[in-house]
Structure 1
Amino acid sequence: MKYRKEPELTGRIVLPDDPLYNSARQEYNTFFNKFPLVIVFAKETQDVINAIRWARYNGVPLRMRSGRHNYEGVSALNGGLIIDVSEMKQLEINRKQGTVTLQTGLRNFEIIEQLGSQGLVVPPGLCPTPGIAGVTSGGGHSSLSRPWGLVIDNLLEAELVDADGCVLHASADRNADLFWALRGGGGGNFGVCTSFCFRTHKIDTVAYASINWELEDLKPVLKVWQEYTLPDADNRFTPLLSIISGAQSFLLAQGVFLGSAEELRELLCPLLRSGSPNHVFIEEIPWVEAAPVLAGPSPVTRSRLKASGLM
């Protein structure tokens, strides 16, 4: 697409001489240290349109980001333009349709808190601060994946700006091929997503389980734990198993169950008999309290890391 005159950048513009530049360019993974030409913090979809058209007009490479959590740093670059949607945070619930439409600057726990206060949930990511755009375009595994699927399984419609700076809406009956591609874990390569419409689920109290062992119990625990991941396992329970390393390293099993604590304790009997648990907690608590506890082992501050395959 050709433009008669250079498009104007709009939104909150951060340039290299801005006092906020260093904080604005920094990714979650500090292993990557990139210096973009300009960062555009979009306030509305039109800002995204203008940024893409400006980049095309000037032949400048661009990247997009919402929560800056891309572990391989692909949401940053040297000498180019970054479109950051993290300040686009509108959220609207449609109770009649059982849906929520939200902008892609919202982060996992912002959505959990806002929906949770209304007794609703969209299956979220585990870490508190990733942006919903990256979580969704990457699939979105969560502590509620067994009963309700990945985050992307609950996506009903997406608004995005394509490489020509045109707004598209993708759903089962509008641009269906693009909607199919977006739900295939495309990593955001089809455009800059600016809003999503999700199916919501009702949620209130959940049964939460936390069990830990010494690392020496890994073999017997893992042997039993993996039985809870089989296709015929009770899909009301999504099990998580972590090796927590630090001053005191230990093995931690967690999960939320859409049922009573009594049912969950009975379901976990084989796991409770594995090895020698140091601590067992199985109680019914509000979902909005369970989510941050599940995220406890996740790093919340920026750090220098090299990621590997998670699955």
Structure 2
Amino acid sequence: MTTLTVPGGYTKTAWEKIVRRGRKLMKEKSGIQWALGDLVIEALDGHSRGHGEVTQVLKMLSHQIGANPETLRSYYDVARQWPKAKRRKDVSFSVHATLAYVPSRYTLIRKDPYDPFTKEHRWTVNEAEKVANRAVHTPTNQAERLAHTRRLLHTEEDAAKAVTEMLGRPDVRARLASDQHARHLMRQAQYEHWREVDEATEAEAELVSADDAAEVEEEFDEEAAPLGVQYSEAPMEILRLIGAFASFSVSLQRIIPEVHTQDYTEETKQAVLDNVHKARMLLDWCETAIKTGKTDPDKALARLMKDEEGE
């Protein structure tokens, strides 16, 4: 017997004895399954097989011999797909059943595949399911385990609950924190969540009556308007400056919470810092212009703007 993986608490000799007995019983069971399938084929031989005759014969025979009609039907279907000359006596009926509708089954059955679970070269239902492109019942690698998990967690509610529980494990959190793709997906989820919240808030605001909306807008304008500024009298350039600052402020408030420096290269960080420096220089220029009336930029800023124009 090929070397087997022995579970804890058993000696190699004792376990091999159990496996030999089990395989002998499975072989006997397979023999009975084949025999019952062949029995139905023989019973139908020479008789009409249309208009429900097969179902009628199967139903009557199963009741009279004490078998389940569906089970007997499955034995019959498999036996039809596997002529006696194409069957392997050392391969279980269950494997033949799994491969029954694989086009190249007669060729495939000749060679034993490697079973990573038992560390043997032999046909098992698990390996047959892989060949038949069906879901395996005993996953033996990460891809199969993940596929099995996805099938189990097919509802969004179950999947979300499982993820929440997994995040309770420190080692899982650590792996996710170090995975750039996982962090990106989480940030994207947060962005979509808050976007939906914003849309819901805006939808609720639209339900407010026109009078209430006008009152709220008036209060907002009074609070937001800089002291001493009368928009109806302010010069256009001042209004444009205030508008630019407001737009700049709102944009930063939305974007900065999405920043995650651990995902950026040093070059990327430096590019942002260069723009921060540039913004400070522009703000200093604006402050100087308002306080002193001097609108000419200093040499450093002038050189910077000239370089940008050259680009």
Q: TM-score, with normalisation over the residues of structure 1?
A: 0.18
**Higher relative contact order, chain-length normalized (CA < 8 Å, sep 6+):** 1
- The structure that is helix-richer by fraction is 2
Q: Which has the higher strand share?
A: 1
Q: TM-score, normalised by structure 2?
A: 0.18
> Larger Cα Rg: Structure 1 or Structure 2?
2
